[in-house]
Amino acid sequence: MENKLYYSIKEVAQMLDVNPSVLRFWETEFDCIRPVKNKKGNRSYTQHDIELLRRIHYLTRQCGYTLEGAREQMRIRPVDDPQMQIIRQLEDVRSFLVDLKDVL
């Protein structure tokens, strides 16, 4: 992934394999998600926003938490928690292996 200051909603949706509407919904449900918006209302996400969204995605889609449960977990364990860093690395490895499988 290319390191940029800001990512579009389309780029972030592709990273997380969700529809952009899911990101807009999570923005309304989680106060910590605050993308920068231009005059047209287009969202730009920072790397920190993406890490928060990854955490929400992990909690709701992979761990099966409800939105309320995910909010509680986000409050208890911050995004920079070492366990979350390990999960992020494992997700990167999984993504690499899936891409490799597709090439073979």
Cut 0.95: pTM above it: no
Tell me which residue of 41, 51, 43 sits closest to 7, measured CA to CA.
43
Greatest Cα pair distance in the chain: 45
- In this structure, are residues 55 and 47 in contact, taking their beta carbons and an 8 Å threshold? no
Residue 94: per-residue pLDDT: 83
pLDDT over 80 at 88, yes or no: no
Question: What architecture is the 7-77 domain classified under in CATH?
Answer: Orthogonal Bundle (1.10)
pLDDT in tens, 27-74: 999 988 999 999 999 999 999 899 899 989 989 998 899 999 999 988
Domain ranges of the chain: 7-77
Structure-token match 């992979």, residue found: 62
- Taking residues 71-79, what's their average pLDDT? 79
Tell me the backbone φ, ψ of residue 5, rounded to 5 degrees.
Answer: -75, -40
The rounded mean pLDDT for the chain is 87
| Helix boundaries (H) for 2-81 | 9-16, 20-29, 47-57, 67-76
Residue 4: per-residue pLDDT: 86
Beta bridge partners of 70: none
- Taking residues 16-31, what's their average pLDDT? 94
Tell how many helices (H) and how many strands (E) occur in the chain: 5, 3
Residue 2: per-residue pLDDT: 62
